[in-house]
Structure 1
Amino acid sequence: MTHGTIYDPIRRKDVPDTPEERVRQATVQFLLNEIKVPAHLITVEFGLCAIDPKTDDRVDIIVSNFREGATLDKPWLLVECKAPGEYTWEALQVQLNRYLKVLTPKFVMLALGDAVRYFERDDATGRFKKIEKLPDFK
């Protein structure tokens, strides 16, 4: 079965149109249009090897936090996207925990199809708590 393509405005190219890519692109549009994240701060398919050469993991989306002087390993937001029906929240959490060994994001967004969960990191404890929605990107 061949898939068409879908345009990724962040990577500026057509990418294979898969169920997971549709979730990823819907998330990119949400970040651009609803949360008001400047496009130049969004990275899609971010290779963690840029921070830890021992890993070949790739994060679906990160939003950099350079304006607060944060380094690459401390993004404003880390997003993991999965197609509906392919994963469970628990499986997504396991994958996320691997990323959190390398990254220290302020916020985390997990998108499992249309279902989305948001978390905010408590700077004092380093733990994440569930929140209702992401704040606007100021």
Structure 2
Amino acid sequence: MQKLNFPTYSFRFKNSENKVAIFDEIRKKFIILTPEEWVRQHIIQFLTQEKNYPKSYINVEKLIKINDLNKRYDIIVYQPNGEIFLLIECKAPEVKITQETFNQIARYNLTLKAKYLMVSNGLNHYFCQMDFENEKYNFLTELPEFETTNYKL
């Protein structure tokens, strides 16, 4: 798999039906390794190892309804009070991050109402803080660490 713009992490792999699978520590199972899954697994490691987000607050690939359509978000991080702190959209490295990518995460966030957004293809990462009052998002240079949310575990 392609080298991504993250620190180096160690992963567990296995062969499954002539395909490589990677172990997802959040879903606690092996997932077929696609380019997008490679990005997703790096982001999970980034969140837990670099930003100190507890694994128990991270949720991966769950169904949501948007305008009566079934969609799947990639990753969300909850706050201890159950509100959504962070919504993440993962793309494969060869997928360019475009305005349509931001439109997609913004549509998802109309339902989810996360305080922060992250969009990444593993090579380019974009972080935003929501400004619900003015209906826009403000770009950040990095995500806040979990402790900065003023919640103690």
Q: Please, what TM-score do these two structures have when normalized by structure 2?
A: 0.77
Question: Could you say which residue in structure 2 is the equivalent of 1:88?
Answer: 97
Q: Structure 2 counterpart of 1:18, which letter?
A: T
Identical aligned residues as a percent: 33
User: Structure 2 CA distance, aligned partners of 1:127 and 1:94?
Assistant: 11
| Matched residue SS, 1:120 | strand
| Matched residue SS, 1:24 | helix
- Residues 37 and 103 of structure 1: is their aligned pair in 2 closer, same or farther, counting only changes over 3 Å? same
| Matched residue SS, 1:48 | strand
**C-alpha displacement of 1:97:** 2.5
**C-alpha displacement of 1:9:** 0.2
Contact 2:87 2:109 in 1 (8 A): no
Question: Could you say which residue in structure 2 is the equivalent of 1:37?
Answer: 53
- Residues 53 and 125 of structure 1: is their aligned pair in 2 closer, same or farther, counting only changes over 3 Å? closer
User: Structure 2 CA distance, aligned partners of 1:53 and 1:124?
Assistant: 22
**Which segments of 5 or more consecutive residues in structure 2 lack a partner in the other structure?**
1-17, 148-153
User: Structure 2 CA distance, aligned partners of 1:10 and 1:22?
Assistant: 14
| Matched residue SS, 1:105 | coil
Q: Please, what TM-score do these two structures have when normalized by structure 1?
A: 0.85
| 2:139 maps to which of 109, 118, 130 | 130
Contact 1:81 1:110 in 2 (8 A): yes
Question: Could you say which residue in structure 1 is the equivalent of 2:77?
Answer: 63
User: Structure 2 CA distance, aligned partners of 1:101 and 1:20?
Assistant: 24
Question: Could you say which residue in structure 1 is the equivalent of 2:10?
Answer: none
- Residues 18 and 120 of structure 1: is their aligned pair in 2 closer, same or farther, counting only changes over 3 Å? same
Question: Could you say which residue in structure 2 is the equivalent of 1:12?
Answer: 28
Contact 1:3 1:18 in 2 (8 A): no
1:2-53 CA distance string (max 9 Å, x none): 531000000000000010000000000000001111101000002114xx69
Structure number with bigger Rg: 2
Question: Could you say which residue in structure 2 is the equivalent of 1:79?
Answer: 88
**Which segments of 5 or more consecutive residues in structure 1 lack a partner in the other structure?**
none
- Residues 123 and 95 of structure 1: is their aligned pair in 2 closer, same or farther, counting only changes over 3 Å? closer
| Matched residue SS, 1:125 | coil
How many residue pairs end up in the alignment? 130
- Residues 13 and 70 of structure 1: is their aligned pair in 2 closer, same or farther, counting only changes over 3 Å? closer
